Amino acid sequence: MIAPKKVIWAALVLMSTAAVGIGCAPPSAHGPATSTISVLLPPSERPFWQPIANGFEAAHPGTHVDLVEGPQSTDLRESLYTTSLLARDATFDLVYLDVTWTPKFAAAGWLCALDDSFPPSEREHFLPHAWDAGIFDGHLYRVPVRTDMGLLFYRQDWLDSAHVHPPATFEQLAEDAVVLGDPPARWGYVWQGAQYEGLVCNYLEVLTGYGGYWIDPETNDIGLEDPEAVAAAHFLVDATQVRASPPGVGTYQEEESRRIFQDGRAAFLRNWPYAYRLSQQAGSPLVGHVGVLLMPATDGGRPSGTLGGWGLGVSTYSKNPELATEFIRYAVSIESQRALCAPTGYAPALEAAYLDSTLLAVNPFLTRFRALHRHCTVRPAIARYAQASDILQRHLSAALAGIESPQMALEHAAHETRLLLGPRHPPRGTAG
């Protein structure tokens, strides 16, 4: 992650290069001989996008794809794109969007509708949840490139030797985590508790397991004061209090938690599918020892994992929207899916990739993942998602730090979210 100061500097550089937007028009005839398209990516992904960019350039002589490294944190990249697009800056032709960004960016008029190039009939080629995250007001603004889903990884060998079954309920998970842990050498359950988007993802799948909900995007109803929501927050807060989770879990993002598991120092890890591939790579001490589950559920809830994932859209201010759209087409070819997903363990967005022998040979887990993906839980598709998430992040984080009780944290979060979203409205299609 880069320091906030650096982000401010990066934002200023973007604004100083701002150009007046030209909408989604084709490039001008007086354009440069070499057409450049650029995109801001997390540094961890850049090396795996390079072969895709090279392949595209070879197939389109006279073009250059500029892969710009941004901060690693999702939230900080969202801020950078927002600053740039608010300034009608043409720096980024392509926007690499998290699964939750589409409503905000599309409602602001920052993305070109892609329906002509990717008509609704193409939906069947993609994982449905991944495709649907790109739709806003009936138009497609984001094409999914890779999907994600929160999963619960566990040490099968430790459970076996302790004669413990994989947990199906939160009580069992808590019990197993305590039994199998031996803090501080060995922790029961590691996850992402830092104040950022990942914390919301972790909470949401626990919340779904308890049968609760966060925001109903249809009605603006907020479920954070319901007993299920409080129970879900308690589950995470109590995990630290009983030392099933490390005291530092409130500062962990994906990699901090994954490294503890990878080093053989945790029984359970909540993370995204890439963590599984890394645990099973040649030389890893965990080869053959890791099981995968959905987050458990109580009777009234359902086992699930939060839907994540990344896709590409075309900026309204791009001077090369057609070339940018062609790049998206290239990025979702089976060859590009192989280039991005084989070395990383990322989950492809393209259905055909789940039957691809090259990908299956390096990552046989994809078959199981495809089945699990049907159980994902989706973050609310609302234009003010970033602010709603920020409210929840702040209060969950206060609860983890012991500054607010879980109940009080969620009451405050519910109140602030209500102020943000305005009054409840009736579900679509009903009178009144």
Minimum distance, C-beta of residue 303 to ligand GLC, in the bound complex (Å) = 19
- Residues that bind ligand GLC in the complex, under the rule CB under 6 A: 74, 98-99, 148, 197-198, 201, 272, 308-310
272 or 327: whose CB is closer to ligand GLC? 272
Provide the total of helices (H) and of strands (E) in the chain, helices listed first.
17, 13
* Cβ atoms of 417 and 254 closer than 8 Å: no
99 or 414: whose CB is closer to ligand GLC? 99
* Cβ atoms of 368 and 291 closer than 8 Å: no
Buried residues in 313-327 as b, exposed as e (16+ CB within 10 A)? bbbbbbbbbbbbbbb
Minimum distance, C-beta of residue 99 to ligand GLC, in the bound complex (Å) = 5
Minimum distance, C-beta of residue 62 to ligand GLC, in the bound complex (Å) = 33
Q: Return all residues near 368 (Cβ < 8 A) that are at least 6 apart.
A: 292
Query: Residue with the closest Cβ to ligand GLC?
Result: 308
DSSP letters of 160-193?
Answer: HHTT-PPPSSHHHHHHHHHHH-BTTTBEEEE---
147 or 316: whose CB is closer to ligand GLC? 147
15 or 48: whose CB is closer to ligand GLC? 48
Minimum distance, C-beta of residue 240 to ligand GLC, in the bound complex (Å) = 19
345 membership: H or E segment, kind and range: none
Closest CA to 354 of 365, 160, 153: 365
45 or 89: whose CB is closer to ligand GLC? 45
Which residues on neighbouring strands pair with residue 309, listed in sequence order? Answer: 147
Q: How far apart are CA 294 and CA 277, in angstroms?
A: 17
Which residues on neighbouring strands pair with residue 271, listed in sequence order? Answer: 151
Minimum distance, C-beta of residue 308 to ligand GLC, in the bound complex (Å) = 3
Minimum distance, C-beta of residue 309 to ligand GLC, in the bound complex (Å) = 5
87 or 99: whose CB is closer to ligand GLC? 99
Q: How far apart are CA 404 and CA 172, in angstroms?
A: 26
Minimum distance, C-beta of residue 332 to ligand GLC, in the bound complex (Å) = 16
DSSP letters of 386-404?
Answer: HHHHHHHHHHHHHHHTTSS
309 or 321: whose CB is closer to ligand GLC? 309
Residue 418 CA, distance from chain mean position: 24
208 or 318: whose CB is closer to ligand GLC? 208
Minimum distance, C-beta of residue 262 to ligand GLC, in the bound complex (Å) = 18
Strand duo 139-140 + 376-377: pairing: unpaired
* Local structure of residue 65 (DSSP, 8 states): E
